[in-house]
Amino acid sequence: MVKVGTDTFSAKKEQLEKKWFLIDAGNKNLGRLSTIIANVLRGKNKVIFTPHVDCGDFVIVINASKIKVTGNKLDDKLYYRHSGYVGNLKSTNLKEMIVKKPEFVIKNAVKGMLPHNILGRHILRKLKVYPGETHPHQAQNPQVIEIKL
């Protein structure tokens, strides 16, 4: 009997180097953009991906206010919040949310695609979203990711 591939590689936190990536969300579909962001944040685009280790990179998203969605989602998709008091459930549709808080829309979509545990919350902190063109992360020299959707 021949043993093949008995060594399993597991990435260590100390061995990883984090890069910074810049993504322009202008005129991009929200769902498809979110999956790309989630994969880069999680590190699934790397050869050394390990599910239980944070292998991913930092992602900067600009032009969050210019995203697009298909169908009737602008009117039909609702975001809920509750203050904790009886009868105080508030709902806002996607159209209003893009005007008020475009950063929240993208962060919420990406959050749903990450693991729902401590690792997922840690990974989400590496996402930086800005509604306009400018961002304060020029010193990190982010690499631009071109998305053709």
Q: Is pLDDT at 74 greater than 60 in this prediction?
A: yes
Res 3: pLDDT: 58
Top pLDDT among 148 and 51 is at 51
- Percentage of the chain beyond pLDDT 70 is 95
List, for residues 112-127, the tens digit of each pLDDT value: 999 999 999 999 999 9
- SS3 assignment for the chain: CCCCCCCCCCCCHHHCCCCEEEEECCCCEHHHHHHHHHHHHHCCCCCCCCCCCCCCCEEEEECHHHCECCCCHHHHCEEEEECCCCCCEEEEEHHHHHHHCHHHHHHHHHHCCCCCCHHHHHHHCCEEECCCCCCCCHHHCCEECCCCC
CATH number listed for the domain at residues 18-68+101-144: 3.90.1180.10
List, for residues 4-56, the tens digit of each pLDDT value: 656 788 889 888 999 999 999 999 999 999 999 999 999 999 999 999 999 99
